[in-house]
């Protein structure tokens, strides 16, 4: 049986941590459905569109990019419409807007962007078309920091398996981006799920222990299981 853990909203929670955006952090702490809230706030037609929009805007998607994207064109192919949605987004999440602009200033001053876990990125201010390199200098810190968090999660999970005496029967088969997937006999489903949940619950403390950094945004995961990756069921 395959058993997998997907980090909950890893990119979103990472940009909230990097920007310390108080509105977004409060939504996470209060267990609110950010996508439903934003569907109403930004007058979007569905929760799914709101969700896809959020994870594009983390990386500074422009009004034009939304207007020509098949995922959004059916809502509006007018760049001005999406420019207005972006305006509403950054008015709500001012901390993210400030963070993006701080990174822009650092890049244009020839300075590296330094992440809280010690990684840094030296980025060119303009892309090959002479446009501001927004998608790169908003992407690298989020993806890079998220990758460090997931690397720590994998190590922590392996240590928990060993301490539970399961390292010989639970085999790591895949670890891509924000997921960890193992192969285990079905009788160990509940044990493995418990260890996955504990791994993500303990991540903030482990980040402090390894990186000496106080990570404030809670981290969590969703666990699924099944005979193959196309037939996975949510563990509850």
Residue 68: which CATH number? 1.10.150
Same domain for 105 and 168, yes or no, is no
Q: Count of residues for the chain? A: 236
Comparing CA positions, the residue from 31, 69, 32 lying closest to residue 49 is 69
Q: 69, 98, 133: which is the final residue of a domain?
A: 133
Same domain for 112 and 16, yes or no, is yes
Give the count of beta carbons closer than 10 Å to the beta carbon of residue 146: 21
Same domain for 100 and 156, yes or no, is no
> Which range of residues forms the domain containing residue 58?
11-133
**Structure pTM?**
0.93
200 with 7: CB under 8 angstroms?
A: yes
73 with 67: CB under 8 angstroms?
A: yes
CA–CA distance, 67 with 140 (Å, rounded to integer)? 24
Residue 90 lies in a domain: yes
Same domain for 19 and 122, yes or no, is yes
- Residue-level pLDDT at 177: 85
Average pLDDT over residues 179-189: 97
Same domain for 126 and 20, yes or no, is yes
Same domain for 181 and 103, yes or no, is no
Supply the Cα-derived Rg of the chain in whole angstroms.
Answer: 19
H helices present in 71-225, as ranges = 79-92, 94-108, 134-137, 140-163, 189-201, 203-211
Q: 79, 104, 133: which is the final residue of a domain?
A: 133
Q: Are strands 120-121 and 233-234 parallel, antiparallel or unpaired?
A: unpaired
CA–CA distance, 189 with 194 (Å, rounded to integer)? 9
- How far is the CA of 168 from the CAs of 107, 187, 200, in angstroms? 47, 14, 22
Percentage, residues of the chain above pLDDT 70: 100
**Per-residue confidence band for 163, with pLDDT thresholds at 50, 70 and 90:** very high
Same domain for 114 and 175, yes or no, is no
Same domain for 126 and 223, yes or no, is no
2 with 227: CB under 8 angstroms?
A: yes
Q: Locate 191 and state its tokens.
A: 């044990």
Comparing CA positions, the residue from 96, 177, 178 lying closest to residue 138 is 96
Same domain for 21 and 69, yes or no, is yes
**Per-residue confidence band for 176, with pLDDT thresholds at 50, 70 and 90:** confident
Residue 19 lies in a domain: yes
Comparing CA positions, the residue from 20, 194, 12, 151 lying closest to residue 94 is 20
CA–CA distance, 80 with 125 (Å, rounded to integer)? 25
166 with 182: CB under 8 angstroms?
A: no
CATH of the domain at 208: 3.30.70.370
Average pLDDT over the chain, rounded to an integer: 95
* 3-class SS string, 84-100: HHHHHHHHHCHHHHHHH
- Residue-level pLDDT at 156: 97
Average pLDDT over residues 185-200: 98
Residue 139 lies in a domain: no
Task: Count how many domains the chain has.
Answer: 2
């Amino acid at each position: 049986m395959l058993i997998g853990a997907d980090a909950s909203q890893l990119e979103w929670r990472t940009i909230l941590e990097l920007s310390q955006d108080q509105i977004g952090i409060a939504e996470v702490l209060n267990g609110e459905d950010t996508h439903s809230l934003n569907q109403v706030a930004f007058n979007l037609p569905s929760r799914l569109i709101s969700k896809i929009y959020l994870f594009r805007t983390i990386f500074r998607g422009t009004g034009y990019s939304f207007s020509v994207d098949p995922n959004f064109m059916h809502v509006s192919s007018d760049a001005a419409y999406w420019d207005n949605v972006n305006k509403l987004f950054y008015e709500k999440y001012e901390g993210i807007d400030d963070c993006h602009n701080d990174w822009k200033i650092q890049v244009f001053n020839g300075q590296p962007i330094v992440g809280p876990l010690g990684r840094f990125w030296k980025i060119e201010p303009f892309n090959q078309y002479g446009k501001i390199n927004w998608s790169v200098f908003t992407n690298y810190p989020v993806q890079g920091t998220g990758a460090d968090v997931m690397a720590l999660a994998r190590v922590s999970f392996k240590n928990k398996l060993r301490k539970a005496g399961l390292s010989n029967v639970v085999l790591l088969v895949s670890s891509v981006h924000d997921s960890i997937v193992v192969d285990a006999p079905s009788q160990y489903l509940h044990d493995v799920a418990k260890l996955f949940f504990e791994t993500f619950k303990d991540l903030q403390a482990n980040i402090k222990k390894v990186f000496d950094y106080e990570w404030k945004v809670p981290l969590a995961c969703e666990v699924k299981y099944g005979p193959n990756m196309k037939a996975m069921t949510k563990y509850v």
